[in-house]
Structure 1
Amino acid sequence: MTTVRETVHELLRGWGLTTVFGNPGSNELPFLDRFPADFRYVLGLHEGTVLAMADGYAQATGRPALVNLHAAAGLGNAMGNLANARQQHTPLIVTAGQQARNMVGLGAMLSEPELTTVPRPHVKAALEPLRAQDVPRALAEAYHLSTLPPAGPVFVSLPLDDWAAEVVPHEVEHLGRRRVTSLAAPAEGEIERLAARLDAAKAPVLVVGPEADREPVFDQVVKLAEAANLPVWLPPGPPRCGFPTTHPHYRGVLPNTVNGITETLAGHDFVLVLGAPVFRYHVNKPGPFLPAGTELVAVISDPAAAARSPMGDALVGDVGEVVSRLAGLVTGSGRPPVPPRPAAQAVPAASAPFPAEAVFDVLADVLPPDAVLVNESTSNTGAFWARIPIRRSGGLYFPAAGGLGFGLPAAVGVALADPGRRVFAVLGDGAAQYGIQGLWTAAHHRLPITFLVLRNDEYGALRRFTGRLGVSEVPGMDLPGIDVVSVARGYGLPARRVEDAGALRDALAATGGPLVVEVPITRT
């Protein structure tokens, strides 16, 4: 007979899901029983770390990833990073082991009758098969649904006693051959009308979001910006970088407030947003959503984001399809060339504690051309974006929902996806603690990652918010006594603390396996 486990292993092989990210418990052991020799199990020491590793891996490969978590508690541990994955539309098949079916109603240990409600609202769907024989079809549904636009995580609850059950051959024989593809295309004339509006504008501007950060869309956006003479901004808090920050048309990252964006876009009569919500604000500083007389069109794959926008028109569809056609239609209408953005002034520093700007200047100087950056130093994002060059697609990852714990393990997932590119994880000393267990996986797989931990002994971003929110005398802002170097060595990684500029340069230029570099920086 053919079992559910054997059938699922064969389906996963056909879908290319032979890398499994997990932290196993007793409910998951029957799935892992007789684990195929051609599969790879990537162990994380905490479920939040596991989820972020899979998120980084799926984003870097552009394909779904499979996550195997332990029961309701393990799924709960992963929720913070599941929110990031949902916001970024990362295709993940997230599974958790349910107790044996006859034990769930008894309230047995590791059972949860409402397990499918635990990951909501951060999944596209949550499934639990009604019969053991439905497990293969439920996983097939999750696989296809996770990839359909807008992509995102899908959850499947898997009772532990289902795996040994016999499948019904005619119920599963078609699953591995099915292909589910989105064929949505812009309506007749929509691209031409958009091109005409862009050409008719006197001072248009382009805002490029994370959906443009893939080949060949990345290069097509550059072509569009040059053809139409458009200055280019990134949206607030960009989780990916859809435009090279070294390009002369690049202007920076939009502020995260309503009035800040309105002031920044003043003087522009037309705003074209590609692949980003309009807009993801953070700090409550209200005002007009756009400058008076300014029109806006957003192109995005997410119908919910398009529908909730408070201003402008929206085209729901594939950003790549729109950009490739639009770039060949626009003329620029004789607008003058976009002047280059002034370069950031160098901030020299001879010894610790360094200004964050000085650290980023050194990092920018030693970065390999194909390096990947994962940023989770939230108190220094302005300095980061002003100084770090992103030259190609897949060059930058940031927690999309703002949840800490993404950066360190996501860097592990990105490196597993493409070990030929060196990864630099730029982390705050507070943020690093949320995913610190990922250091063990990096050491175990000897991944080419430099973990740059900026140590200021505080939650710097929170301290900055105390001023913005008008609060004072807030506890819990300081983080004294965290020795990241010792922690890293305990996980098996080489680590060093740098105190002068020469040692900083040498550490950041180092190659080979994983390395943790702790750098004291000035406080907020």
Structure 2
Amino acid sequence: MAKLDKVVPGQAPTKMEWGSDVAAEMLRRIGIKYVALNPGASYRGFHDSLVNYLGNEDPGMLLCLHEDHVVSIAHGYAKVTDSPMGAVLHSNVGLLHGSMGIFNAYCDRMPMVVVGATGPVDGHKRRPWIDWIHTAKDQGALVRDFIKWDDEPRSAQATVEAFWRGAQLTRAEPRAPVYICLDAGLQETRLDTGIALGQAQRYQPSEPPRASQQAIEHLADTLLAARRPLLLFGRGSRDMQAWDLRIELAELLGASVMTSIRDRAVFPTEHPLMAVPPVYWLNPEAKAAVEQADVILSLDWVDLNGLLKQVWEDTGAMTATLAHASLDSQLHRGWSMDYFGLPPTDIPLQASPDAVVEQLVQVLRVRLGGQPRWQGERSSQPALPEYSAGSADEIAPRDIEVALQRLRGDLPISLAHATYGWAGDAFHCRGPLDFLGSDGGAGLAAGPGLTVGIALALKGSGRLVVSVMGDGDFLQGATALWTAARYELPALIIVSNNRSNFNDEMHQEAVARIRGRPVENRWIGQRIDDPAPDLAALARAQGVDGEGPVRNVPDLERAILRGLEAVKRGKPYFIDAHVATGYAIAPLSRGK
């Protein structure tokens, strides 16, 4: 448990008395353990109810210094638990601040109960000026295109249904945030009648949809007839049984496997059936693995058509049979293009990918008589990766990943975040909590908050949280570390600091080449240098011990060991690692 603030001992209310008490009670009843918040007068009644009615327990309150951190912490928590946390945002201004984080969580398909406030809706109750500019007629419209559902209940009894429905929807696959807006006037209205609260067991989400038995049998026939089957494991739960079933499916078929750095760990990367290390963009070996496959099964792979187009510009030229199991189309609308290109699917399965794996395994066990087609040793125990040449004097971006793998030993490390362009070939995933994926929507400032939320979810588990992020990501989200310090949430944060918005340098170089202009100017308006921000000082200003800049690998190793010891003691720790400009894996850029 996080170190929560304790209320002054006294006589707590034994019954709900105010409209906001109903909302607070419902957060407890839907199973929310924590809420992150940045205070605001629009929900002062709700805040009082969380403290003086619930006693700051179930949910417990985590104060944040920015609304973006409020949401990203809840996002990180969901990455570990597959369950929602509460994120409380003040009126329209707080929602506007937090909307970037909500978009990230939506693109990442993570559950979250976002509680907002507006008003008072009744104009006669508004204070001059401030209550007017913090009131919106349809506040949910700000985020409606990248949430699953929203509501603004107009009575205490309607508040009950709003929370039951929101909890049910955010937990149901495909998961995504929901938003409930509380009228400030309603929060501060005294209840004059009893409220029917309902029972949690009657408002649970249904089991995720499964494929028909006929479809599973057909898919099994197709996979068993394949000479070179390929499994694309995309989104998947943190459930250990689901992890084991994915391994069993690959071994039953003797199929090659690919996974993505954009998603959480779904398959052991040291397994010999891994065709290539986890990918961002397809390297030549990955392209060959896709091109040579005669049957491809995608299990909720994010941007499946984008993967295919890296192999075939015209995906109609693909000869492999393509099966795709996903529920994601249930969230597809017109505003955001996060639905990606439409893949040419031969066997579409509108079903949960974890459920499809389970169904397939059951059929294949019978078909193969319990004799998997692959019966080798599961772990190849590869040699420790090597550092880059010149590592005694300089840190290459991949060297941070190499250092973590070389130093981890048997430590149960959870990699909370990785930089854009992470290599993926050195740090290995051996279980579903070894790597927690990306930010979802590629929005900067998420890395620090995600790390804090993951540390919150894993506190007391024995796992050591480590996060690697870029300097731009950290600088935009640095004050999230204050929440880690305040509530004693242990994590090692390493900034891979190239002193530049380097991805954009690459884009400026691409444009310059296309236009025949000097590429030497790509750095202008991009470099974060002269003066270089003192990142370790920023961390210390939030109450987190830190060091740096570290400029060579021997010093980096010693810093990481100090950081891991601090995390073992229950403290956050920070390292500023100055790395050479570049990427371990170069991202794609439009043009050449």
TM-score for the superposition, normalised by structure 2: 0.81
Are 1:241 and 2:241 matched, yes or no?
A: no
- Cα distance in 2 for residues equivalent to 1:280 and 1:94: 32
Shift of 1:503: 2.6
Are 1:390 and 2:432 matched, yes or no?
A: no
- Cα distance in 2 for residues equivalent to 1:71 and 1:315: 41
Shift of 1:358: 2.1
Shift of 1:114: 2.5
2:493 — aligned with what?
451
- Cα distance in 1 for residues equivalent to 2:525 and 2:309: 23
Shift of 1:66: 0.9
1:180 — aligned with what?
204
Q: Residue 59 of structure 1 aligns to which amino acid in structure 2?
A: K
1:228 — aligned with what?
253
CA deviation map 1:106-159 (0-9, x unaligned): 981311222111112110122111334422222222111111221111111111
Which moved further from structure 2: 247-256 or 303-312? Answer: 303-312
1:274 — aligned with what?
299
Computed over aligned residues only, the root mean square deviation of the Cα atoms, in angstroms, reads 3.0
Which moved further from structure 2: 356-365 or 305-314? Answer: 305-314
| 2:160–2:197 CA contact under 8 A, matched in 1 | no
Shift of 1:386: 1.4
2:527 — aligned with what?
478
Q: Secondary structure at the match of 2:431?
A: coil
Equivalent pairs counted in the alignment come to 520
Are 1:360 and 2:408 matched, yes or no?
A: no
| 1:507–1:517 CA contact under 8 A, matched in 2 | yes
Q: 2:544 is matched with which residue: 489, 493, 496?
A: 493
Q: Residue 61 of structure 2 aligns to which amino acid in structure 1?
A: Y
Q: Secondary structure at the match of 1:265?
A: helix
Q: Residue 325 of structure 2 aligns to which amino acid in structure 1?
A: V
- Cα distance in 1 for residues equivalent to 2:308 and 2:355: 33
Q: Secondary structure at the match of 2:146?
A: coil
Q: Residue 443 of structure 2 aligns to which amino acid in structure 1?
A: G
Are 1:310 and 2:346 matched, yes or no?
A: no
Q: Secondary structure at the match of 1:430?
A: helix
- Cα distance in 2 for residues equivalent to 1:334 and 1:139: 48
Q: Residue 300 of structure 2 aligns to which amino acid in structure 1?
A: G
Shift of 1:256: 4.0
Relative to structure 1, the CA distance from residue 466 to residue 248 in structure 2 (aligned partners, 3 Å threshold; closer, same or farther) is farther
Relative to structure 1, the CA distance from residue 307 to residue 387 in structure 2 (aligned partners, 3 Å threshold; closer, same or farther) is closer
1:292 — aligned with what?
318
Relative to structure 1, the CA distance from residue 199 to residue 169 in structure 2 (aligned partners, 3 Å threshold; closer, same or farther) is farther
Q: 2:449 is matched with which residue: 409, 413, 419?
A: 409
2:480 — aligned with what?
438
- Cα distance in 1 for residues equivalent to 2:215 and 2:237: 19
- Cα distance in 1 for residues equivalent to 2:197 and 2:499: 58
Relative to structure 1, the CA distance from residue 282 to residue 132 in structure 2 (aligned partners, 3 Å threshold; closer, same or farther) is farther
1:518 — aligned with what?
576
Q: Residue 240 of structure 1 aligns to which amino acid in structure 2?
A: R
- Cα distance in 2 for residues equivalent to 1:165 and 1:348: 68
CA deviation map 1:79-127 (0-9, x unaligned): 2121111012111111211021223999813112221111121101221
1:14 — aligned with what?
29
CA deviation map 1:43-72 (0-9, x unaligned): 111111110000011221221111100111
- Cα distance in 2 for residues equivalent to 1:502 and 1:79: 41
Q: 2:121 is matched with which residue: 75, 95, 101?
A: 101
Q: 1:429 is matched with which residue: 459, 466, 471?
A: 471
| 1:277–1:309 CA contact under 8 A, matched in 2 | no
Are 1:127 and 2:127 matched, yes or no?
A: no
- Cα distance in 2 for residues equivalent to 1:411 and 1:361: 20
CA deviation map 1:459-516 (0-9, x unaligned): 1222233345546545422111111011111111111112343332122123231110
2:412 — aligned with what?
370
Are 1:143 and 2:167 matched, yes or no?
A: yes
**Percent of aligned positions that are identical:** 22
Which moved further from structure 2: 460-469 or 216-225? Answer: 460-469
- Cα distance in 2 for residues equivalent to 1:177 and 1:342: 47
Relative to structure 1, the CA distance from residue 431 to residue 283 in structure 2 (aligned partners, 3 Å threshold; closer, same or farther) is farther
Q: Residue 315 of structure 1 aligns to which amino acid in structure 2?
A: L
| 1:64–1:91 CA contact under 8 A, matched in 2 | yes
Shift of 1:268: 0.8
Q: Residue 392 of structure 1 aligns to which amino acid in structure 2?
A: G
1:47 — aligned with what?
67
- Cα distance in 1 for residues equivalent to 2:305 and 2:280: 10
Equivalent positions of 1:74-223 (< 5 A) are 74-103=94-123, 108-167=132-191, 172-174=196-198, 176-183=200-207, 184-223=209-248
Shift of 1:308: 6.4
2:590 — aligned with what?
none
Q: Residue 577 of structure 2 aligns to which amino acid in structure 1?
A: V
| 2:391–2:553 CA contact under 8 A, matched in 1 | yes
Which moved further from structure 2: 462-471 or 119-128? Answer: 462-471
Shift of 1:224: 1.0
Relative to structure 1, the CA distance from residue 32 to residue 13 in structure 2 (aligned partners, 3 Å threshold; closer, same or farther) is same
Are 1:418 and 2:462 matched, yes or no?
A: no
Relative to structure 1, the CA distance from residue 258 to residue 487 in structure 2 (aligned partners, 3 Å threshold; closer, same or farther) is closer
Q: Residue 295 of structure 1 aligns to which amino acid in structure 2?
A: T
- Cα distance in 2 for residues equivalent to 1:376 and 1:218: 21
Relative to structure 1, the CA distance from residue 185 to residue 487 in structure 2 (aligned partners, 3 Å threshold; closer, same or farther) is same
Q: Secondary structure at the match of 2:35?
A: strand
Q: Secondary structure at the match of 1:372?
A: strand
Structure 1 residue runs without a partner (length 5+): none
- Cα distance in 2 for residues equivalent to 1:57 and 1:16: 14
Q: 1:502 is matched with which residue: 545, 550, 554?
A: 554
Structure 2 residue runs without a partner (length 5+): 1-15, 333-338, 583-592
